[in-house]
Chain A
């Protein structure tokens, strides 16, 4: 599904040069659930953003769906994003001016999905996330867990091949966190590939594989026996 070869990322500001990623070689197969772990500042979000086509690597190659895309234009990457990727963030990032329903509908609008199909798909995913009864609420009127469920609904409504989650439970208490993790897990069982950044070992338990990052480098990978089969 995706593969990175000697991925490097350097941030250069006026005075300092920060190397966020050093020779990262990561391979994620179709249907996998990968957790990325590591101390704060080790480059987890940076890696996820590159994988999510929100950022460009400084050097190295990045294959997504068998295509080398590190040199893609902003426009091409935007198209790939809207067709194949879903995002879940720690801080939900729902659009305050849109209702639950409208937030979830938005990716389909950018995909130019027809009206009728949109309605049906949004309703379906709202049911699945158990948030349908709040469809006309605005984000501020929801609890954190509810907001994150809406965010996940929005991320998966377009049926993305790859779901990227950056600390999806970071702003939630453990009960709500487990709820969200179960949702992700069941999505994975239904075939969605997931790459998730997390600090929580409990959350990481849901993954098939844990990638440990330190100072921008992959230092180890633990593959759970269960997942190998």
Chain B
């Protein structure tokens, strides 16, 4: 029986090759996308789920409410861990993690004649306690990692780093010097950190050593740093809520909080760390569950659009099968038997599409990985989840795409089917097909609208004025606490003609470095319930970044805080209208330790990404905390300028590794995640449109074929070609318009929500909708016209002969 079904299916499909190809390619495209999205979603959901205690590991976060709005992060004061160990025994094991982000590593050689090799690591240098290995299950490849990091001044290298630092050698026992301050003995080599962790590391260093690197961290309750985090496992039966309350009782005794501020320490399950952008993580990348849902929906939509093609084409084709169905019924085939037959046929097409899409997915995965900067791979046969996914897709698509056509076809009355008298309209399920086409158009339009809006917001990010120059500026880190060494060589730095200006500062204008301070303004009598953002930079800062002053002047050169410059928001917050009025007023900052005069007011500029508002800023000098040399250079002589800067820099810091980044590149990184999402949207909506067009093309060619005779008659009666194209197009124009009315509000709702995440955002103009509608209309009409024109220009006599 099935052999017979199979034979008929294969022969029918081969005979209608065009139709088969449309279906297979459409389905394969849809399934490929859903497969790729499945891989992406699965990857994102797998972050840190591989630890055996994953369901009870937590991170301590803090939710702060300040007058500037909520400030959530994952930084904890240093003494907190000791307190937990003493008072909350159910939180065990617990460990500090310190992410040094980058560092300079010198291979200490005991041979003086061999020059020391130096390496710069930009990120993921992680300091951990031995308990780290009790808590997490990272691969160690048999190395007793806990033992290896028991002593101070020890380091475990990952394989990649071991190969880079010590090519062809056994690194164990060798000594690395970090940032020229601490010697670390290599005690082992472990595999690279897995891709799916939010605790990525290139090496693991014993936690004690971090105190020499992280000089800002002191042993008080009032200093926190978001790179200093605490993870712990909760005892299986313990209550999270109770433990949180107890911890907050304890911390509230020690923490000093500005008036009007509130804070609460909360426990975040490790499995949520990847999805909550409020607290971030060491990868610098989070993805919201909403985004994952959106991706999943897009995957489903693409399969849906392809399945709709199938339903449309198959029902349109049903007439061709009438004779066969009639005869099978005469021979005693039952309706369920016929349904089975046609479902099998759909299943066969789906299976072919499925196999094709596995091949496509293999081919496209490298591009997707590149786009998303991920390293996803799959080996279909060993991947049970994947096979299950494919099976589900196979069954779902077969039923979704095949059920209705099978129902229609198997429902033919044998006598009328044999007489080819099955009413066209009924068979073709005209209203159903219209509905399905509307669904397709709606999905396409929603995707187009979303893509345009996401794209516009990205363009806005790129082009919005941030209030400072970003072109041709390089940011060069200087070793912590040693900015003075290079500042002494300033005249030398600026001696090159391609170096226009230089400024030392804690950070460039927009960077994720915040120093908050309470303050007192003017007569010190009013208690303000908000803190200010201290921006510490030298006197050349405004000039280098082209930030204009509104009143007064820039402060004078100084190594410590003497004079202040404030921004517009600051004035607004303290209630001063005229910038001139603020000049000369007294200001107290830094926990009441520093008093000085405001000498100038600067125009507002952005301190971080456009997601955030501009906070009140107080600028002043403090050489000790300058981490960056920012240099404005001549774009066309960038190479020479950089070489010169490196030269001078190296004179000041002979033991360190020079590196730099162009400012506009680092700014672009703020929106990396959004950029990626924008790319995804673009790619997938493009594919949705392609699939939709395939279906439309097939449907119209079928309609045209069916109405060849009608077209012939009309032409004989004098109809013009244009009016015949119009005949076919009018219907589709209506459908596009209906879809437009549905798609508009849906996409407005979602995009409005999405935009709410950004403080600075575009307005959704009505033209976006018009453009999307026009685009869909254009695509639909082009597809329809190509076919309709063929009919219109055909010879009417020939058309009439085809009976």
Query: Which A residues have a C-beta under 8 Å from some C-beta of B?
Result: 49, 52, 54-55, 74-75, 78-79, 81-83, 87, 89, 91, 93-98, 102, 105-107, 109-112, 154
B328 touches A89 (CB 8 A): no
Find out whether the CB atom of A54 lies under 8 angstroms from the CB atom of B415. Answer: yes
Residue of A nearest to B325 (CB): A95
- The 27 listed contacts between A and B (C-beta, < 8 Å) are A49-B415, A52-B330, A54-B329, A74-B335, A75-B335, A78-B334, A79-B332, A81-B331, A82-B331, A87-B330, A89-B418, A93-B327, A93-B418, A95-B327, A96-B323, A97-B8, A97-B324, A98-B4, A98-B7, A98-B11, A102-B4, A105-B4, A106-B328, A110-B1, A110-B332, A110-B333, A154-B331
Taking the closest CB of chain B, its distance from the CB of A72, in whole angstroms, is 13
Interface centre among A74, A89, A97, A105 (most CB of B within 10 A): A97
Q: Is the CB of B323 within 8 A of A93?
A: yes
B residues 1-30 with Cβ under 8 Å of A?
A: 1, 4, 7-8, 11-12, 15
A96:B324 contact, CB within 8 angstroms: yes
1/0 contact string of B645-680 vs chain A (CB within 8 Å):
000000000000000000000000000000000000
Chain A contacts for B330, CB-based, 8 A: 52, 54, 81, 87, 93
Residues of A within 8 A of B12 (CB): 97
Of A81, A96, A106, A154, the residue contacting B4 (CB under 8 A) is A106
User: Does B87 lie at the interface of the complex (its beta carbon under 8 Å from any beta carbon of A)?
Assistant: no
Min Cβ gap A168→B in Å is 14
Q: Is B222 an interface residue (CB 8 A)?
A: no
Known contacts A55-B415, A97-B8; A110/B327 CB under 8 A: no
| B415: chain A residues within 8 A (beta carbon) | 49, 54-55
Cβ-closest chain B residue relative to A46: B415
CB neighbours of A81 from chain B (8 A): 330-332
State in angstroms the CA–CA spacing of A49 and B337 once bound together: 22
Given A54-B415, A82-B331, A106-B4, 12 other A-B residues pairs in contact with their CB atoms under 8 A = A55-B415, A74-B335, A78-B332, A82-B332, A83-B332, A89-B418, A95-B327, A96-B324, A97-B8, A98-B8, A110-B333, A112-B1
B692 at the interface (CB under 8 A from A): no
Q: State in angstroms the CA–CA spacing of A96 and B329 once bound together.
A: 16
Given A54-B415, A89-B418, A96-B324, A78 and B329 contact (CB-CB distance below 8 Å): yes
Q: Tell me if B326 counts as interface (CB < 8 A to partner A).
A: yes
Any A CB within 8 A of the CB of B744: no
CB proximity of B410 to chain A, nearest CB, Å: 11
Is B188 part of the binding interface, using a Cβ–Cβ cutoff of 8 Å? no
B329→A109 contact, CB < 8 A: no
CB distance from A92 to the nearest CB of B (A): 10
Given contacts A55-B415, A75-B334, A106-B4, contact A97 B329 (CB under 8 A): no
Chain B residue with Cβ nearest A74 = B335
**A106 cross-chain contacts in B, Cβ below 8 A:** 4, 328, 331
Contacts of A93 in B (CB 8 A): 323, 326-327, 330, 418
Question: Which residues of B sit under 8 angstroms from A112, Cβ to Cβ?
Answer: 1
Q: Confirm or deny: B414 has a beta carbon within 8 angstroms of a beta carbon on chain A.
A: yes
Inside 8 A of B7's CB, which chain A residues have their CB? 97-98, 102
Minimum Cβ distance to chain B for residue A102 (Å) = 7
- Which 7 pairs show the lowest CB-CB distances between chains A and B? A82-B332, A97-B11, A81-B332, A97-B8, A107-B331, A93-B327, A95-B324
Tally of B interface residues using CB under 8 Å:
23
Min CB distance, A158 to chain B, in Å?
Answer: 8
Alpha-carbon distance between A54 and B4 when the two chains are bound, in angstroms: 24
In the complex, the chain B residue whose C-beta lies closest to that of A84 is: B332
Q: Which of B383-428 contact A (CB under 8 A)?
A: 414-415, 418
Q: Is the CB of A54 within 8 A of B337?
A: no
Residues of A within 8 A of B324 (CB): 95-97
Find chain B residues with CB under 8 A from A89 CB. Answer: 418
Query: Chain A contacts of B8 at CB under 8 A?
Result: 95, 97-98
Q: Chain A's nearest CB lies how many Å from the CB of B720?
A: 35
Return chain B residues, CB-CB under 8 Å to A75.
334-335
Chain B residues closer than 8 Å to A79, beta-carbon distance: 332
Closest to B320 in A: A96
Q: Determine the residue in chain B with the shortest Cβ distance to A111.
A: B332
Residues of A within 8 A of B323 (CB): 93, 95-96
A49 to B, closest residue via Cβ: B415
Minimum CB–CB distance from B422 to chain A (whole Å) comes to: 14
- B414 and A54 within 8 A (CB): yes
> Cβ of A105: which chain B residues have Cβ within 8 Å of it?
4
Q: Give, as a whole number of angstroms, the nearest-CB distance from B7 to chain A.
A: 7
B328 to chain A: closest CB distance in Å? 7
Asked if residues B11 and A109 are in contact (CB atoms below 8 Å), the reply is: no
Q: Which residue of A lies closest to B333 (CB)?
A: A110
Most central of A94, A106, A154 by chain B CB within 10 Å: A106
B15's partner among A82, A97, A107 (CB-CB below 8 A) is: A97
**A16, chain B: closest CB distance, angstroms:** 16
* 331-384 of chain B: CB within 8 A of chain A: 331-335, 337
Contacts of A94 in B (CB 8 A): 327
Q: Which residues of B lie under 8 Å from residue A49 when comparing CB positions?
A: 415
The chain A residue with its CB closest to the CB of B330 is: A87
Bound complex: CA A78 to CA B335 (Å): 9
**Which residue from chain B places its CB closest to the CB of A164 in the assembled complex?**
B330
In the complex, A93 Cα to B414 Cα: how many Å?
12
Least CB distance, B412 to chain A, in whole angstroms = 12
Closest beta carbon of chain A to B449's beta carbon, Å: 45
Q: B70: shortest Cβ distance to chain A, in Å?
A: 68
Chain B residue nearest to A52 in the complex (CB) = B330
**Considering only CB atoms, which chain A residue lies closest to B332 in the complex?**
A82
Which of chain A's residues have a CB closer than 8 A to the CB of B4? Answer: 98, 102, 105-106, 109
**Alpha-carbon separation in the docked complex, A74 to B326 (Å):** 14
**B residues 298-312 with Cβ under 8 Å of A?**
none
A109-B414 contact, Cβ under 8 Å, with A81-B331, A82-B332, A102-B7: no
Q: Which residue of B lies closest to A95 (CB)?
A: B324
Kindly provide the distance from the CB of B414 to the nearest chain A CB, expressed in whole angstroms.
Answer: 5
User: Which A residue sits closest to B329, measured CB to CB?
Assistant: A78
Q: How far is the CB of A5 from chain B (nearest CB, A)?
A: 23
Across-interface contacts of A83 in B (CB, < 8 A): 332
Chain A: which residue is nearest B331 at the CB level?
Answer: A107
How many Å from the CB of B730 to the closest CB on chain A?
A: 27
Select from chain A the residue with minimum beta-carbon distance to B414: A54
Closest to B4 in A: A109
How far apart are the CA atoms of A94 and B330 in the complex, in Å?
Answer: 12
Give bound CA distance, A89 to B329, whole Å: 14
Complex CA distance for A106 and B323, rounded to whole angstroms: 15
Chain A neighbourhood of B326, CB < 8 A: 93
Choice from B1, B11, B333, B418 contacting A78 with Cβ under 8 Å: B333
Complex interface: chain A residues within 8 A of B337 (CB): 110
Closest residue of chain B to A89 (Cβ to Cβ) is B418
In the complex, which residues of chain A have a beta carbon less than 8 angstroms from the beta carbon of B418? 89, 91, 93
In the bound complex, residues from chain B placing their C-beta under 8 Å from that of A55 are 415
A23 to chain B, nearest CB (A): 22
In the assembled complex, the CB of A89 is this many whole angstroms from the nearest CB of chain B, namely 7
CB A214 to nearest CB in B, in angstroms, measures 22
What CA separation (Å) do A4 and B709 show in the bound complex? 43
By beta carbon, the residue of chain A nearest B15 is A97
For the complex, what is the distance from the CA of A74 to the CA of B327, rounded to whole Å?
A: 15
In the complex, chain B residues 119-153 whose Cβ is within 8 Å of any chain A Cβ: none
Complex CA distance for A74 and B415, rounded to whole angstroms: 13
For the complex, give the distance between the alpha carbons of A109 and B1 in Å.
6
Cα-based distance from A93 to B333 in the complex (angstroms): 15
Interface contact B331-A110, CB-CB below 8 Å = yes
The distance from the CB of A126 to the nearest CB of chain B, in whole angstroms, is 17
Rounded to whole angstroms, the CA-CA distance of A98 and B326 in the bound complex is 15
Nearest CB on B from A223, distance (A): 30
Complex interface: chain A residues within 8 A of B15 (CB): 97
Q: Which residues of B contact A74 (CB under 8 A)?
A: 334-335
Contacts of A54 in B (CB 8 A): 329-330, 414-415
* B335: chain A residues within 8 A (beta carbon): 74-75
A52 to B418, CA, bound (A): 14
A69 to chain B, nearest CB (A): 15
What CA separation (Å) do A82 and B330 show in the bound complex? 8
